[in-house]
Amino acid sequence: MKCVLALDQGTTSSRSILFDQSGTVRAVAQREFKQHFPQSGRVEHDPNDIWETQQFTARKAMHHAGVHCEDIVAIGIANQRETTVVWNRKTGQPIHNAIVWQDRRTAGICAQLKADGAEPLFRQKTGLMLDPYFSGTKIKWLLDNVEGARKQAERGELAFGTIDSWLVWNLTNDRHRHITDVSNASRTLLFNIHTLEWDDELLGLLGIPRSMMPEVRASSEVYGSVDKFQCECGCPISGIAGDQQAALFGQACFEAGSSKNTYGTGCFLLMNSGEKPVVSENQLLTTVAWQRGNEVNYALEGSVFIGGAVVQWLRDGLGIIESSSDIQKLAAQVPDTGGVYLVPAFAGLGAPHWDPHARGILIGLTRGTGKAHIARAAQEAICFQSLEVLRAMEKDTGQPMPSLQVDGGACADNLLMQLQADLLQVPVERPKLVETTAFGAAALAGLAVGFWKDAADISAIRQVDRTFEPQIGKDEAESRFAKWKKAVERCKDWET
């Protein structure tokens, strides 16, 4: 049985999934890895944990499916984006833990650049905001704070990569390819999305030597093959995309105007905007969706930093549920939140607010408030944040969104999906295959080697599992949204 192996390297876990030609999942293996929170607002991963868990899950998935490496026609990678690794080219060892996309330590660098008037330049060239979310200021922080790093970088001894680059570097251990794809490059604050090249002016403003940067490639082409010590038949690596762009591809959003919302650690609403970058007037990001051959597709994106992560906080921080899937049962014990609103600005607020200084707030508490109300408020928080970015997108396009395609780990929660339909006032469509991120990476890889012929083959694989229709009226949805907006205002600009 021939398969494509997708490596889905997420924020909280590494997953490996095998897809056969009909798009059927033949095996899934997943392993969580440690999250490091060294100080308030800081989030790190050990890059070696990422590499080890990814290798472990790949072997496990192959073992489960009884698939040998000669059966793997291609490998595709989808990865948590922006997370920054800097490593020594000679030893292959990172100079520091990876700084994760949620990390806020570079808020001061961003503020200084804004004060210097640099924001319009970054926004025009990269389509992004000056926010600690993106890789550029994280690289600067590493060069400024790790002893000797700047000198080593100037001597050309250090390599920078997002997680895709780090995985490819390790997968191609005998020749060490140092590459990334356009979709990941477009999340760094250093990539000009119009010329599709690293931008010397932006590299200069952040003091980052160009020699650290990976070669930028399309999202669907053969980049190299797996090192023979790991796989004797040398499987080709032929697809790379940031996980949110991969999900857009996996949901077959190939037409301009089609969109999806992914409920993972964060929530990411992306809309394909076609072959031209569309500039948002409503605080959304312009990003590269993917490149196939010479064809480049762009997307508009609303990034919400805390989505499913609020469920983990109920589990690990408050201890009011035992596993993530318990939230649905707990929240269903009450008919509503009893007026409680939870704004989970644990890592500041992303789109459309972009406030790195915001922090979480739980408001509307009374003597009658119980843990079920808090659980339900957490679910509503995920929905309200998605609603905010959807409204911003509708303003940008001038078009109401007729329905929402969803995916990601948390979309398994039926109550969450129902609340989302209620609050959005449009139907929410969940596909049968919720592994759309991994499937997107597999599709990009499989198309590059002819395992699938064209986009129509990919669209044919997508099937709807369930559609959630709104069950409350527009007035009620609007009045709850108005209260949410009031709560959001109260949590802004808190941690200075």
Ligand X SMILES: O=P(O)(O)OC[C@H](O)CO
Smallest distance, ligand ADP to C-beta of residue 205, A: 31
Q: What is the largest CA-CA distance in the chain?
A: 65
81 binds ligand X (CB under 6 A): yes
Smallest distance, ligand X to C-beta of residue 243, A: 5
243 binds ligand X (CB under 6 A): yes
Taking CB within 5 to 8 Å according to partner kind, which of ligand X, ligand ADP, none is near residue 426? Answer: none
State both tokens at 462: 């997508």
Is it true that the peptide bond before 277 is cis, omega within 30 degrees of 0?
A: no
CA–CA distance, 310 with 154 (Å, rounded to integer): 41
Nearer to ligand ADP, 356 or 409 (CB): 409
CA–CA distance, 269 with 406 (Å, rounded to integer): 9
Taking CB within 5 to 8 Å according to partner kind, which of ligand X, ligand ADP, none is near residue 413? Answer: ligand ADP
Residues flagged as binding site: 11-13, 15, 81-82, 133, 243-244, 265, 308, 312, 409
Taking CB within 5 to 8 Å according to partner kind, which of ligand ADP, ligand X, none is near residue 13? Answer: ligand ADP
- The helix (H) or strand (E) run that includes residue 487 is helix 474-491
CA–CA distance, 360 with 343 (Å, rounded to integer): 5
Nearer to ligand X, 172 or 186 (CB): 186
3-state secondary structure of 286: strand
183 binds ligand X (CB under 6 A): no
Taking CB within 5 to 8 Å according to partner kind, which of ligand ADP, ligand X, none is near residue 312? Answer: ligand ADP
3-state secondary structure of 267: strand
Taking CB within 5 to 8 Å according to partner kind, which of ligand X, ligand ADP, none is near residue 350? Answer: none
Taking CB within 5 to 8 Å according to partner kind, which of ligand X, ligand ADP, none is near residue 82? Answer: ligand X
Which residue minimizes CB distance to ligand ADP?
409
Nearer to ligand X, 101 or 166 (CB): 101
Taking CB within 5 to 8 Å according to partner kind, which of ligand ADP, ligand X, none is near residue 101? Answer: ligand X
430 binds ligand X (CB under 6 A): no
Contact criterion met (CB below 8 Å) for 192 and 76: no
Contact criterion met (CB below 8 Å) for 84 and 149: no
3-state secondary structure of 43: coil
266 binds ligand X (CB under 6 A): yes
Burial class for 392, CB neighbours closer than 10 Å (0-12, 13-18, 19+): buried
Taking CB within 5 to 8 Å according to partner kind, which of ligand X, ligand ADP, none is near residue 226? Answer: none
Residues flagged as binding site for sn-glycerol 3-phosphate: 11, 81-82, 133, 243
Residues flagged as binding site for glycerol: 81-82, 133, 243-244
Provide the 10 A C-beta neighbour count for residue 455: 15
What would the x/- binding string for ligand X be over residues 244 to 263, using CB under 6 A?
Answer: x-------------------
Nearer to ligand X, 57 or 225 (CB): 57
Contact criterion met (CB below 8 Å) for 348 and 304: no
Strand partners, 468: 428
Question: Tokens 């570097």 map to which residue?
Answer: 169
CA 228 from centre of chain: 31
Smallest distance, ligand X to C-beta of residue 410, A: 10
348 binds ligand X (CB under 6 A): no
Is it true that the peptide bond before 209 is cis, omega within 30 degrees of 0?
A: no
CA–CA distance, 239 with 223 (Å, rounded to integer): 8
Smallest distance, ligand X to C-beta of residue 81, A: 4
Nearer to ligand X, 81 or 480 (CB): 81
CA–CA distance, 405 with 248 (Å, rounded to integer): 10
State both tokens at 400: 């109401």
Nearer to ligand X, 260 or 480 (CB): 260
Q: Which of 161, 264, 348, 352 binds ligand X (CB under 6 A)?
A: 264
137 binds ligand X (CB under 6 A): no
CA 45 from centre of chain: 15
Torsion of CA 153, 154, 156, 157, to 10 degrees: -40
Rg (CA), the chain: 21
Provide the 10 A C-beta neighbour count for residue 105: 20
Smallest distance, ligand X to C-beta of residue 213, A: 19
Nearer to ligand X, 82 or 422 (CB): 82
Given phi > 0 = left and psi -120 to 50 = alpha, else beta, which region is 120? alpha
Q: What is the DSSP letter of 412?
A: G
Nearer to ligand ADP, 264 or 360 (CB): 264
Nearer to ligand ADP, 172 or 251 (CB): 251
Q: Which of 51, 101, 249, 484 binds ligand X (CB under 6 A)?
A: 101
Q: Which residues bind ligand ADP (CB under 6 A)?
A: 10-13, 264-265, 308-309, 311-312, 324-325, 327-328, 408-410, 412-413
265 binds ligand X (CB under 6 A): yes
Q: Which residues bind ligand X (CB under 6 A)?
A: 10-11, 80-82, 101, 242-244, 264-266
